[in-house]
Amino acid sequence: MQIILGSQSPRRQELLAGMGVTFTCVNIHADESFPPELQAADIPLYISRAKAKAFHAGDEKAGGAVKRDEAFVLITADTIVWAEGQELGKPTDENDAFRMLRLLSGRTHQVYTGVTLTTPDTQRSFVDTTDVTFRELTDDEIWYYIRHYHPLDKAGAYGIQEWIGYVACTELRGSYFNVMGLPTEKLYVALKELNAL
């Protein structure tokens, strides 16, 4: 079965490759907005399904990734940071990144990743959650991270695999790789259940 990753995220590609999976990447252009009543885990689940819906096997947008009558499974995912009752998406600029990291400083927050697996016949979705605790960060430490690592492309304005994860994370409950953007263990089991591996 052909495995297709509906993402251009270098972190998701690295994680899927680290699982020993052979896959093809496609870039899916989907509306990532969500109904305002959605909370926490429901948000990335909704967006991962929206990304799957935006994929059309074999068309030009998908780069002709799937040949006619070929068995495939499409993986789409979305990750959010949830802190103090609000979703922290990708920051709009450095000041917004500072606001987010100041909110995370000295607190425990949740990272949710929604994953949707789509085949020609079925679709299944799941969410994984990781609790991440940061020690209290100084303003200088926050600005050092922002200016040296430019985390504007990351939900919650940070990458756990970067400097801030080494020096600020005091506790992590759940999957480390989920915080990077893909709950690898749960994904591996789900792919095996679909006979994709």
3-class DSSP assignment, residue 28: coil
What digits encode the pLDDT tens for the residues 80-93? 999 999 999 999 99
Query: What contacts 24+ positions apart, CB below 8 Å, involve 149-153?
Result: 151/91, 151/97, 152/90, 152/91, 152/92, 152/93, 152/94, 152/97, 153/90
Residues taking part in catalysis = 78
Question: What global pTM score does this model have?
Answer: 0.93
With CA atoms as reference, report the closest residue to 111 among 167, 20, 182: 182
Segment (H or E) for 128: strand 123-134
- 150-169 CB burial, b ≥16 within 10 A, e <16: ebeebbbbbbbeeebbeebb
Measured torsion, CA atoms of residues 161, 79, 178, 4, in degrees rounded to the nearest 10? -100
For the chain, percent of residues with pLDDT exceeding 90: 90
Question: What six digits make up the tokens of 57?
Answer: 């096997």
Per-residue pLDDT of 116-146, as tens digits, reads 999 999 999 999 999 999 999 999 999 999 9
> Mean pLDDT: which of 21-35, 49-63, 176-190 is highest?
176-190
Spatial CB neighbours of 163, under 8 Å, sequence gap ≥ 6: 145, 148, 149
Angle at 3 between CA 26 and CA 72, to 5 degrees: 100
Q: What is the pLDDT of residue 66?
A: 66
* Domains: count for the chain: 1
CATH number at residue 92: 3.90.950.10
Q: State residue 70's pLDDT score.
A: 78
Which residue range(s) make up the domain with 45? 2-193
